[in-house]
Amino acid sequence: MSHTISLDHRLPSILAELSTAGSGVRAEPDEAAVYDAITGAGRIFVLGAGRSGLALRMTAMRLMHLGLDVSVVGEVTAPAIRRGDLLLVASGSGRTAGILRAAENAEEAGARILAITTDPDSPLAGLADARILVPAPQKQDHSGVASEQYAGSLFEQTLVLLGDALFHELWQRSGAPAEELWTRHSNLE
């Protein structure tokens, strides 16, 4: 016997949270600094842990479609970061040890850092040349006040949509037709 799955309550609730979080996203020092960091980079490296890392991999793919030189940190084919490169990094808390080490290494190499986080006062935000601040609760916030979702889900969902919004703006600025971007899709599948 099969049962119907009802998403009538949950999906609207999640979408409402995403709408609220999305409308509260802000760039520091400003939006121009975010786009300049991406378009001015020699190469772009993306890094996030767990689900944040998965969300940034989606952004990496879209940036590649724009013709940008993008690597996912930790992949065996990722080269060393150097001066003129950009580390695009996400951490809700801005305190994840491995993420902080990578940002410190990028800074030492002379690369710029674009951090996406919920905490403007975090160590990661302090290392970043530009920041995108997402109004979402920390993973450890189990109160259900800021979000009824579990452990950082709102941050991670917003991160996916934010990556697509960044891509869309950069694509529109580039003037490249969709057909040109499509030629960069993998033809090995």
DSSP assignment string, 10-43: HHHHHHHHHHHHHHH-EEES-HHHHHHHHHT-SS
**CB-count burial class (<10 Å; 0-12, 13-18, 19+) for 73:** buried
CATH number of 22-174: 3.40.50.10490
Whole-angstrom Cα distance, residue 150 to residue 140? 9
Average pLDDT over residues 121-133: 97
- Residues 43 and 17: beta-carbon distance below 8 Å: no
Checking if the pLDDT of 118 tops 80, the result is: yes
Q: Are strands 86-90 and 130-133 parallel, antiparallel or unpaired?
A: unpaired
Q: What is the pLDDT of residues 39-98, one digit of tens each?
A: 999 999 999 999 999 999 999 999 999 999 999 999 999 999 999 999 999 999 999 999
Whole-angstrom Cα distance, residue 35 to residue 187? 29
Checking if the pLDDT of 4 tops 90, the result is: no
- Predicted pLDDT of residue 186: 79
Percent of the chain's residues with pLDDT above 90: 75
Active-site residue identified among 156, 169, 179, 189: 156
Whole-angstrom Cα distance, residue 39 to residue 35? 6
- Predicted pLDDT of residue 49: 95
Q: How confident is the model at residue 139 (pLDDT cuts 50, 70, 90)?
A: low
Q: What is the pLDDT of residues 105-117, one digit of tens each?
A: 999 999 999 999 9
Q: What is the pLDDT of residues 42-52, one digit of tens each?
A: 999 999 999 99
Phi/psi at 64 (nearest 5 deg)? -60, -40
107 is catalytic: no
Q: How confident is the model at residue 147 (pLDDT cuts 50, 70, 90)?
A: confident
Q: Which residue has the higher pLDDT, 14 or 5?
A: 14
**Amino acid found at 178:** A
The domain ranges of the chain are: 22-174
Average pLDDT, the chain: 91
Average pLDDT over residues 22-34: 95
